[in-house]
Amino acid sequence: MPAFILDVAIFSYSAQKNERVIKEANAKLERVAQAFAAGNPPQEGLGILCRITGLLGQGLWMEIWDKTPFAKRKPSLDTARCSGCGECAKSCPMRNIKIARGKAKFGERCTICYRCVNKCRQKAITILGKAKNLEKSCHAP
């Protein structure tokens, strides 16, 4: 996940912890990919306990989160950075992004999937936070 999705530093992990988290995530991705290839997709997250946890951990939290100054219903665009390439629009599963006058324009059907943020080479799109895309990034060259 790129560091520019959230432009407010709320998660501060050490480099060692970040490396461990990434290593664990990569190992899990590999296991899941092998399971899919073998025709046995994982069932994790489909049980009733997972659904209740999702409701409490995400559904209700988002209701509370929506009351904070960080909450947004759609992405923010830094028009100075947007090149109008359309990669964000192509990646949007809701077809919620159009290119108008050479810039991305967001509709009202955003599901906060982060695909547009991940596809934007110019780092012009932000979903959470007040400021738009600070220069700080853990992936900066």
Residue type, 30: E
Distance, in Å, from the CA atom of 105 to the CA atom of 98, rounded to the nearest integer, reads 5
In a domain, 82, yes or no: yes
Q: Mean pLDDT across the chain, nearest whole number?
A: 77
Q: Which of the given ranges, 36-40, 76-80, 97-101, 112-116, has the highest pLDDT on average?
A: 97-101
Residue 30 included in any domain:
no
DSSP class of 77? E
Domain that holds residue 118: 69-134
Provide the pLDDT confidence category of residue 133 given band limits of 50, 70 and 90: very low
Residue 3 lies in a domain: no
Question: Is residue 74 one of the residues assigned to a domain?
Answer: yes
Q: Give the Cα separation of 132 and 124 in Å (integer).
A: 8
| Euclidean distance between CA atoms 63 and 126, whole angstroms | 20
- Our count of domains for the chain comes to 1
pLDDT tens digits for range 29-77: 999 899 888 988 777 666 788 778 777 766 666 666 555 555 556 788 9
What CATH number did the domain enclosing 83 receive? 3.30.70.20
In a domain, 45, yes or no: no
- Say if 47 falls within a structural domain: no
Which helix (DSSP H) or strand (DSSP E) does residue 14 occupy?
none
The whole-model pTM stands at 0.48
Residue-wise pLDDT for 2-11, tens only, equals 444 555 555 6
Q: What share of the chain is helix, strand, coil (3-state, %, to 5)?
A: 35, 10, 55
Query: Domain for residue 22, yes or no?
Result: no
